[in-house]
Amino acid sequence: TTTVRLNPGNYRFAGRICTSGVKPLEFGTHHGAALRVLGKTERSPGIVGDGKWREVFVDFRVADIPTDLSLLCELRGRAGQAWFDVGSLQLVRLE
For 29, residues 6+ apart whose C-beta sits below 8 A from its C-beta are none
Measured from the Cβ of residue 34, the count of other Cβ atoms closer than 10 Å reads: 21
> HSE-up of 10 (CA within 13 Å, CB side)?
3
**pTM of the predicted model, to two decimals?**
0.91
SS3 88: helix
pLDDT tens digits along 35-82:
999 988 889 999 999 989 999 999 999 998 999 999 999 999 999 999
d(CA 68, CA 76): 24
> One-letter amino acid identity for 38?
L
Q: Give the DSSP letter of residue 45.
A: P
